[in-house]
């Protein structure tokens, strides 16, 4: 992705110290950290009701008030066939479904990647993690 022209930002000493500590913790530069935090903040402002969770490299959007990531709602929407059916058969509200839909429309690659990661074939998981045992259903 193309970078914008550089500009300077002066943080308070306390904020700078916190950013520096977090950058060390996640092993990223202060610039990279501030950029990712800014991107998350902009997304949460554009999509009120969406927050982010997970470790630094795997941050993912989820719907506040539910336990669901946006990709999970998008996948459920595909399975139910329509927003109305999803709302009728789950505890999700129409607003939550519309919010997840709007976010997924803006960031489709991110959502597709999350769904693909979750729907890997069992054999692929076994190759990645040969020590993990599959439990029998039931």
Whether the per-residue pLDDT at 138 is higher than 70: the answer is: no
* End-to-end alpha carbon distance in the chain: 47
Rounded distance between C-alpha atoms, residue 5 and residue 39, angstroms: 16
Q: How confident is the model at residue 124 (pLDDT cuts 50, 70, 90)?
A: confident
For the entire predicted model, the pTM comes to 0.82
- Least confident window among 24-38, 51-65, 96-110, 113-127: 113-127
Q: Check pLDDT > 90 for residue 134.
A: no
Task: Report the pLDDT value the prediction gives residue 69, as an integer from 0 to 100.
Answer: 97
Q: How many CB atoms lie within 10 A of CB 61?
A: 25
* Residue 136: pLDDT band with limits 50, 70, 90: confident
pLDDT, one tens digit per residue, over 31-57 is 999 999 999 999 999 999 999 999 887
Q: What is the mean pLDDT of residues 71-96?
A: 95
Cα–Cα distance list, 31 to 2, 23, 79, 92, 98 (Å): 15, 9, 40, 37, 33
pLDDT at 120 over 80: yes
Domain boundaries, the chain: 47-119
Average pLDDT, the chain: 92
């Amino acid at each position: 992705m193309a970078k914008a022209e550089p500009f300077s930002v002066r943080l308070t000493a306390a904020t700078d110290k916190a950013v520096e500590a977090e950058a060390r913790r996640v092993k990223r530069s202060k610039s990279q950290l501030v950029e990712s935090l800014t991107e998350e903040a902009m997304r949460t402002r554009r999509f009120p009701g969406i927050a982010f969770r997970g470790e630094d490299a795997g941050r993912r959007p989820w719907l506040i008030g539910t336990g669901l990531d946006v990709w999970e709602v998008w996948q459920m929407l595909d399975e139910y066939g329509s927003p109305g059916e999803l709302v009728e058969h789950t505890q999700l509200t129409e607003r939550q479904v519309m919010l997840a839909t709007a976010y997924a429309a803006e960031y489709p690659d991110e959502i597709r990647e999350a769904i693909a990661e979750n729907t890997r074939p069992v054999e692929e998981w076994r190759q990645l993690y040969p020590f993990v045992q599959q439990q029998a259903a039931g």
